[in-house]
Amino acid sequence: MYMPHANRTMPRHGAPMSPLAVVLNVLWLICGGLAAAAAWFIAGVIMAMTIIGLPWCFAAFRIGLYTLLPFGNEMRARPDAGELTVLGNVIWFLLAGWWLAIVHLVLAIGLAVTIIGLPFAWAHLKLAAAGLAPLGKEIVPRGAPRYWA
């Protein structure tokens, strides 16, 4: 059961990021994060042009926003995702997921060859996995408690 008043110490969506997260997010945008977010938004726009693609459109925009500022947030599987989510993810994979995953893999390989790029390569690998199956994911501040019973 969702109870926002139960834990007064929970991080809020508007809570300020730590200074380290701000620095990492700025470096992330320079090191391929902006291009990766643009790919997510392009996929979302393409899906939005078809009425049938609206469920994938919303997921692509949600993960596209996460791709802009991934540090300080985390992506989790939604516990209420059902069987239709699996079917939707299979369709997404065939339409757009494979090329988004390839974009993230190429960026991750390029960043992994440098020591400074390793945290960004890891973030791209997590986003490559999200590119394969974006439905059934939620973006929350890092360390936020789960409210699902």
pLDDT at 128 over 90: yes
Q: What percent of the chain lies above the pLDDT cut of 70?
A: 88
CA distance readout (Å), 93 to 52, 55, 69, 119: 15, 13, 24, 26
Integer Cα distance of 108 and 123 in angstroms: 8
Span 84-94, average pLDDT:
89
**Beta-carbon contacts of residue 23 (< 8 Å; ≥ 6 apart):** none
End-to-end CA distance of the chain: 5
* 29-13-143-102 Cα dihedral, nearest 10 degrees: -40
Q: 103-121, pLDDT tens digit by residue? A: 999 999 999 998 888 989 9
Give the global pTM: 0.79
pLDDT at 101 over 90: yes
